[in-house]
Amino acid sequence: MTSPAGLDARLVVRRGAFDLDLALTVAPGEVVGLLGPNGAGKSTALRALAGLVPMAGGHLTVDGTDLRPLPPERRAVGMVFQDYLLFPHLSALENVAFGPRSQGEGRRAARRGAAGWLERVGLAAHAGARPAQLSGGQAQRVALARALAVRPRLLLLDEPLAALDAHTRLEIRAALRRHLAGFSGAAVLVTHDPLDAMVLADRIVVLEGGRLVQEGVPAEVARRPRTDYVARLMGLNLYRGRADAGTVLIGDGTASIDTVDSLEGDVFLAFAPSSVALYRTRPDGSPRNLWRSRVAAVEQQGHRVRVQLSAPPFAAVAEVTPAAVAELGLSEGSVVWAAVKATETHVYPA
Please report, as ranges, the residues that interact with ligand ATP according to CB under 6 A: 15-16, 18, 36, 38-44
CB of 72 to ligand ATP, least distance (A): 16
| Nearest CB to ligand ATP, comparing residues 38 and 184 | 38
CB of 41 to ligand ATP, least distance (A): 4
CB of 38 to ligand ATP, least distance (A): 4
| Nearest CB to ligand ATP, comparing residues 19 and 220 | 19
CB of 302 to ligand ATP, least distance (A): 23
CB of 267 to ligand ATP, least distance (A): 29
| Nearest CB to ligand ATP, comparing residues 18 and 87 | 18
| Nearest CB to ligand ATP, comparing residues 52 and 170 | 52
Strands 7-15 and 18-26: antiparallel
SS3 sequence, the chain?
Answer: CCCCCCEEEEEEEEECCEEEEEEEEECCCCEEEEECCCCCCHHHHHHHHHCCCCCCEEEEEECCEECCCCCHHHCCEEEEECCECCCCCCCHHHHHHHHHHHCCCCHHHHHHHHHHHHHHCCCHHHCCCCHHHCCHHHHHHHHHHHHHHCCCCEEEEECCCCCCCHHHHHHHHHHHHHHHHCCCCEEEEECCCHHHHHHHCCEEEEEECCEEEEEECHHHHHHCCCCHHHHHHCCCEEEEEEEECCEEEECCCCEEEECCCCCCEEEEEEECHHHCEEECCCCCCCCCEEEEEEEEEEEEECCEEEEEEECCCCCEEEEECHHHHHHHCCCCCCEEEEEECHHHCEEEEC
CA–CA gap between residue 231 and residue 321 (Å, rounded):
21
| Nearest CB to ligand ATP, comparing residues 46 and 340 | 46
Omega cis (within 30) before 218: no
Helix pair angle (92-102, 107-120), 10° resolution: 130
CB of 191 to ligand ATP, least distance (A): 9
CB of 86 to ligand ATP, least distance (A): 21
CB of 188 to ligand ATP, least distance (A): 12
| Nearest CB to ligand ATP, comparing residues 41 and 152 | 41
Tell me how far apart the terminal alpha carbons of the chain are, to the nearest angstrom: 34
| Nearest CB to ligand ATP, comparing residues 42 and 169 | 42
| Nearest CB to ligand ATP, comparing residues 155 and 250 | 155
Asked whether 250 and 240 are in contact (CB, 8 A), the reply is yes
| Nearest CB to ligand ATP, comparing residues 206 and 250 | 206
CB of 34 to ligand ATP, least distance (A): 8
